[in-house]
Amino acid sequence: MVGLSLEGQVPFPLGTMLKLEAALEPSRTFARWSAAAQKDPEVVQRDGDYFEKVPFQSRKLLVFNYQVSLQQPFWIRPVNREEPFLLVLQFRHQVIPGLDDLDRDGAVVDVPGYDSTVVSKHQFQIVGALSSTFFQGIFTPRVVAGFIPKTTTWHVERLGEIEKWSLKRQSARHGSGFASVALGFRLGDAMRAQVAYHHFFGDDPYDGLGFFRDRDEVNFTFRYQF
């Protein structure tokens, strides 16, 4: 595996920090899509009986990842006279040149055993965060959101008791993500509190962040430090 990291800055008045990170993995191991893996089971004999043994089948594929991050401080003086806002954006792109999205026999999955997590040739992640502090750090609001578009997913057709699994290309609107809103409080040197709401959404409960889509939460944390 080889990696690269580059950082640069746009001078004042923009003051943007840019970061590029890239990694090349010549042979990352993926689990194969089970419908494809079961196509050619190995038959073994044990105690006089014959069993179909479905071995854990895998593929080794070349994977290229890169991520571009941007940090942008900016002022909205009417809203916050004393501190700037900080906007952080991240875009990640993963490319697996050896994959063909609709090639059922070659399909691989992110999570072994979960066929719904089929890996696409191109996968993207977009994350954004916005934060600032008010009243010299007493209040710290933060908004974070992320989205993972999904371009390839599985599709099931049932003909009686027969299930036919196939891969299907989706539009970029499909995918999963989260949105989080939090407000932190500082009370003196010892007490810290935070109230937050995390919302998850997604097309499929077993794909990406869609796995958490029924697990929205509101939490309140309080900390006393000595």
Partner 1 sequence: MRARNALPMLLLVPVMARAQQAPLEDLTVENWAQRLGFAPDPWPEGIGPGQVLDASNRSLAGSMIPEGLDQWIDRLGLRLTLAPYRPMHPSEGYVRATREGAVQVQVRPTDPRDYRTKAVQGYEAGLPFPSPQDGLQVAYNMAYAWQGDDARLWFEALWIRARSGIWRSEEWVWEAIHRVRHRTDLPPLPDLPVLGRDDIQYASIAVARRPDDRRQVAALLVRYERPLDQVGFAFLPSMRRDLKMLSGTPGVTWNQSDMLWEDIRGYSGHPEWYDWTLLGRATILAPMHAGVPLGPKVRQVLQQDSPGPFNPRVLWEPRPVYVLEGRPKMDTTLSPHPYGRVVLYVDAESFLVPLKVAWDRKGRLWKVVLHAWNESPDPSRLPPPLSLAIALDLRRDRATVFLPRVSESNVGLRVTDVTEARLRALSP
What DSSP letter does each residue of 121-152 carry, written as one string?
A: SEEEEEEEEEE--BTTTTEEEEEEEEEEE--E
Q: How far is the CB of 93 from partner 1 (least distance, A)?
A: 21
> Tokens 């995390």 correspond to what residue?
198
Q: How far is the CB of 175 from partner 1 (least distance, A)?
A: 26
- Pair 68, 124: CB distance under 8 Å: no
Of 28, 104, 121, 186, the one binding partner 1 by CB under 8 A: 186
185 - beta bridge partners? 139, 193
Euclidean distance between CA atoms 216 and 202, whole angstroms:
12
Which two structure tokens, joined as six digits, stand for 8?
């640069």
Q: How far is the CB of 146 from partner 1 (least distance, A)?
A: 16
Residue 39 Cα distances to 33, 114, 159, 218, angstroms? 10, 17, 19, 45
Name the residue nearer to partner 1 (CB basis): 56 or 139.
Answer: 139
Residue type, 23: A
Q: Per CB under 8 A, does 83 bind partner 1?
A: yes
Name the residue nearer to partner 1 (CB basis): 62 or 182.
Answer: 182
Footprint of partner 1 on residues 5-34 (CB under 8 A)?
Answer: 7, 9, 11-15, 17, 19
Name the residue nearer to partner 1 (CB basis): 11 or 48.
Answer: 11
Only segment of 47-55, 122-130, 132-140, 153-161 that touches partner 1 (CB under 8 A):
132-140
Footprint of partner 1 on residues 63-82 (CB under 8 A)?
Answer: 71, 73-75, 77, 81-82
Name the residue nearer to partner 1 (CB basis): 17 or 22.
Answer: 17
Only segment of 30-38, 94-102, 112-120, 189-197 that touches partner 1 (CB under 8 A):
189-197
Euclidean distance between CA atoms 210 and 208, whole angstroms:
5
What DSSP letter does each residue of 147-209 carry, written as one string?
A: EEE--EEEEEEEETTEEEEEEEE--TT-EEEEEEEEEEEEETTTEEEEEEEEEEEES-TTSGG
Q: How far is the CB of 26 from partner 1 (least distance, A)?
A: 25
Footprint of partner 1 on residues 84-103 (CB under 8 A)?
Answer: 84
Instruction: Kindly list the residues in this chain that would bind partner 1 in the complex (CB under 8 A).
Output: 7, 9, 11-15, 17, 19, 71, 73-75, 77, 81-84, 133, 136-137, 186, 188-190, 192, 223, 225-226
